[in-house]
């Protein structure tokens, strides 16, 4: 439900990096999206009793930070794609293919590295069992 934050970051990055002029309806739409994200985000904080469901407050804060970082990463990706597509003559489907291959290469490297990182969140969240053998 908080995916509306991508609208706001894409709007801001478009104005900064692409030097786009914002129209009134775009500003109002982005402000409404931001307002909706704030309502959903704060309602989750206000109306959730974290002690009752066993969720650590520090993990919730880390989750919110990662969520905000994903908004900025998504907004940057959309603006970067638009800049590349306007500068170079690349077929959009070819660019999507390049993104997929690049993402696959990064994920493969990260999966191999993260397999050997110790986990302190409990056995259900970890890759390794108590015997030290990975789940297969």
For residue 136, what pLDDT is reported? 47
In the block, which residue shows the tokens 């930070």?
A: 65
User: pLDDT tens across 39-93, in order?
Assistant: 887 887 777 665 556 667 777 778 888 888 999 999 998 898 888 888 888 888 8
9-33: burial string, b at 16+ Cβ within 10 Å, e else: bbbebbbeeeeeeeeeeeeeebeeb
- How is residue 20 annotated by DSSP? P
User: pLDDT tens across 17-42, in order?
Assistant: 999 999 999 999 999 988 988 888 78
| Full-model pTM | 0.67
With beta carbons less than 8 A apart as the criterion, state whether 103 and 39 touch: no
């Amino acid at each position: 439900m908080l995916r509306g934050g991508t609208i706001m970051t894409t709007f801001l990055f478009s104005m900064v990096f692409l030097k786009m002029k914002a129209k009134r309806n775009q500003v109002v739409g982005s402000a409404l999206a931001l307002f909706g994200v704030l309502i959903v985000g704060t309602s989750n904080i206000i109306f959730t009793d974290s002690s009752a469901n066993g969720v650590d407050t520090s993990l919730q804060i880390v989750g919110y930070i990662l969520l905000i970082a994903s908004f900025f990463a998504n907004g940057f990706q959309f603006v970067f794609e638009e800049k590349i597509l306007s500068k170079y003559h690349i077929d959009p489907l070819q660019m999507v293919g390049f993104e997929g291959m690049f993402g696959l290469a990064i994920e493969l490297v990260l999966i191999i590295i993260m397999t050997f990182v110790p986990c302190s969140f409990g056995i259900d969240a970890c890759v390794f069992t108590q015997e030290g053998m990975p789940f297969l």
